[in-house]
Amino acid sequence: MRDTILNSLLAAAHGLSDEQKEFQKMAFDFAAHEMSPHMAEWDEKEIFPVETMRKAAQLGFGGIYVQPEVGGSGLSRLDTSVIFEALSTGCVSTTAYISIHNMCNWMIDTFGNTEQREKFCPELCTMDKFASYCLTEPGSGSDAASLLTTAKLEGDHYILNGSKAFISGGGDTDVYIVMCRTGGKGPKGISCVVVEKDTPGLSFGKKEKKVGWNSQPTRAVILEDCHVPVTNRLGQEGQGFNIAMRGLNGGRINIASCSLGAAHACVQLARDHLLVRKQFGEALSNNQFLQFKLAEMATKLVASRLLLREAAVALQESRSDAVSLCSMAKLFVTDECFNICNQALQMHGGYGYLKDYAVQQFVRDIRVHQILEGMYTPCKSVKNKILFSMRGV
């Protein structure tokens, strides 16, 4: 009976439409057959699984919330969260990159003009080309509005100089969404341009050695007198910071969904381990303390999922509380899901620390989710909205 209840909770289908359940099943099946069997190898050998991701794109996962007229699937933010949770049960690192690629694709689809959308989006949706998001710099992480990369207008080109740090896909991708300073200090001086691979002046740092996320390369992106056509600017000059933050609202939902998938998988792994591991003459699953721990993990998983899906719906509907909910959900879900995965590793005992057991890779891969995409929105007005909304709590 207990196992039946746990399975129903892990099914993650509560409240979903029949169509959403189909998306979810498709993603779970893809994760189980195309990703999970290779997850450890991709991690150990640091393989960027291009062909596997292109198979995912054939299912519509290269432009999940991009408009159909440029090759996207046109799905909602909730649909997207459901898909990324399911895919992450097969490989968090690869799914996290797919989520970043989707965010970049959406930014071009949303803020680009007709020519830009038709030029870039179709090949990004098929994943014939891959994208990277370039905001963070060596001296500006959470304080993104202080970025120093400059873009000086000369004729019909911008001349970019500066560097970006911790760029997922850097050096292996084809399209770089770069935030750069075309005006004065602060957020209103920032613009957004698309820099294409092989543009003169574009180069990359060494491939970083990371604790997790090893199936996606991470490098610095270096811009030295990099000539980018004005026609590659998304939106108007000075709109770049707003574009970056709009992208990150969805990015927070996406990355939290990846944490959710890892926690989902780890609860199952812990449950399965407790059923087969025996100590003191009986299965660990008969130990009441461990039963309580597993119940707590399942409870936190479901609570995280409910908050995250509420935030996804708020973002889709452009509600006034959307930005606050996206930030809250990202903070809560990435923290709680890491704790779930870490507890699952603890339940495995010494075996959980061996690379033969997948639980340790889930722990390593989602630890960075508590760092990137920002816990809190740096915009003062958003902080004020959160404080104001709490007066009625």
Residue range 324-337, pLDDT digits in tens: 999 999 999 999 99
E strand or H helix that includes residue 202 = strand 202-204
Q: What does the pLDDT look like over 90-118, one tens digit per residue?
A: 999 999 999 999 999 999 999 999 999 99
Give burial (CB, 10 Å; 0-12/13-18/19+) of 184. Answer: exposed
What was the pLDDT predicted at 61?
A: 98
* pLDDT value for 373: 87
Q: State the average pLDDT over residues 263-286.
A: 96
Q: Three-state DSSP class for 322? A: helix
Quick one: pLDDT at residue 15? 85
Predicted pLDDT of residue 391: 45
Per the annotation, the verdict on 310 as an active-site residue is no
Structure tokens at 393: 């709590």
More confident residue, 3 or 50: 50
Q: With a cut of 80, say whether residue 12 has pLDDT above it.
A: no
The pLDDT value recorded for residue 3 is 59
Confidence check: pLDDT of 18 > 50: yes
- Catalytic one among 34, 123, 137, 373? 373
Q: 72-90 pLDDT, tens per residue?
A: 999 999 999 999 999 999 9
Mean predicted lDDT score pLDDT of the chain? 93
> Position 98: which residue type?
I
Q: Does residue 356 or residue 374 have the better pLDDT?
A: 356
